[in-house]
Amino acid sequence: MPKLSINIGIILIILGMVFYIISGGASITALIPAFFGVAFGGLGMLAKRSESMRKHAMHAALLLALLGLGGSFGGLIAIIGALGGTMPDRPQAAISQAIMAVLCIIFLVAGIKSFIDARKEKD
C-alpha cells in the first residue's frame, strides 16, 4: 500500500501541474490534485520508513482518498454526462476531477482489500 500511495501521489502531482499549465495558470484550483498528490506521497513515504507508523499513515491516506473522492466526484458525473451529450461548463476541470476521482476510487478499493487481507491474516 505505501508504494501505491506514492505512485498515486506522483500521478496526482503530474495531473495537477499539467492541467494548471493547460489552463494557462488561470486558477490555482487546477493544482488541487497536486496538493493531494503531495499528501499521498508523504503518507506513503512515512509508511515505508516507519513500520510503527505504517498502519496510521495508510489509514490517513484512505481518509485522504475518501475526501479527494468527495471533492472530485462531480467531475466524474460531468464526464459521464458528457458521454450522454451534455457538455460540462468547464471540460478541462471536469476531466481533471474525473481522473482524480478514479485514482481515489482505485486507492480506496486497494486499501480496503489490504485491510481485509491483514485482518484475515490475524485470525
Q: How far apart are CA 75 and CA 51, in angstroms?
A: 36
Q: Given this model, what pLDDT does residue 8 score?
A: 96
Q: What pTM was estimated for this model as a whole? A: 0.87
pLDDT digits (tens, 9 = 90+) for 62-112: 999 999 999 999 898 898 888 888 888 888 888 999 999 999 999 999 999
Q: How far apart are CA 29 and CA 7, in angstroms?
A: 22
**CA distance to 16, 57, 90, per residue, from 51 (Å):** 30, 10, 43
Cβ neighbours for 53, distance < 8 A, ≥ 6 positions apart: 46, 47
13 and 30 in contact (C-beta within 8 Å)?
Answer: no
